[in-house]
Amino acid sequence: MKENAEHLTFIDLFSGIGGFRIGMELANCKHVFSNDYDKYANQTYTQWFGEDGHDSRSIWDISLDEIPSHDILCGGFPCQPFSNAGKKLGFSDPSQGNLFERIEQIVAAKRPKVVFLENVRTLVTHDGGRTMHIIDRKLTDLGYCGTREIINAKFWVPQNRYRVFLVYFLENQEAANYMQQDLISIKESHGKEAKKLSSILEENPDRSFELPKGTWLALQRHKERHKGKTGFGYSKIADFNKCSNTLSARYAKDGAEILIKQKYWRRPRRLTLNEARALMGFDNDLAMKYGHLNGFPTNICSKAQHYKQFGNAVVPRIVADIAQKINKYI
């Protein structure tokens, strides 16, 4: 790794609750700017990390001159336009489909050494692959050489969570070629065993996380109507000895993706907020690094908003592993 890796700077666009930031700082990179427009995500972010360098305005209202120079541009740009859980409108999405255009403008103005992006895996196949082709072409036209890989988070957290990671180097095809091999190595996680859901479950969760009777009956009826189909409807009670399903931003609605069996006659429950936080890899060891002795706080906004934030987050330690490889080439 480059000896002065601690001096590599990064910006964190569409920062959410800081998964990218934590990962990059674990790789000894320095945060110089972050941005998100979501009111509640900003509340959580600033409570966790403070307000220095964070801008809560719309990315379109921030002039290019206000964004500091940086070595690495990070961005978990909104996935809903490309996700199975959304309408898959892609670049045509009226509220979020054009946000990659803003990334493109920032890259053109600031010329970072690396562009490091994350999104749902269906970004690769969206619109018959044309969406990914457009992204690749736009960055290539700006002089960037890139690679990508779909990685399942199950070796870092007890969750099947497939995301595509894109890494583009400025005028450095050799680095991109090496990075492809690194991403494959990270993806395969040689010798690692997948995490188990039981590792993050609490022994005596609050009864408030138990599903209301009406919600539980509605989920069972939904399952009966959709036998043999795929999607985000209730499928089965989570197996504690395996990885869970993907935690999505809609989890607060009914907890259908990850239902936790309870003892005796009690109805299944949702994950607690602390369990959801741990499921995304925001563990207590990381919280300690930011001065949170009892874990990252989960009482900043409503339960629904916290579930949404966790469902939209990126797993920090995957970012860290990729960033450590990136640092070797810049």
Q: What is the DSSP letter of 115?
A: E
Which residue is catalytic, options 79, 145, 243, 301?
79
Residue 237 β-bridge partners? 259
**What count of other Cβ atoms lies within 10 Å of the Cβ of residue 146?**
20
H/E stretch holding 112 reads none
What the block records as the tokens of 299 is 């009482």
Distance CA 84, CA 107 (A): 28
Distance CA 250, CA 310 (A): 10
β-pairing, 30-35 with 144-152?
A: unpaired
Q: Are 258 and 200 in contact (CB under 8 A)?
A: no
Distance CA 131, CA 134 (A): 5
Q: Are 58 and 37 in contact (CB under 8 A)?
A: yes
CA 136 to chain centre: 21
Q: Is 145 a catalytic residue?
A: no
Q: Burial level of 144, CB count in 10 A (0-12/13-18/19+)?
A: buried
Residue type for position 96: Q
Distance CA 157, CA 12 (A): 22
What the block records as the tokens of 240 is 């504690």
Residues with active-site annotation = 79
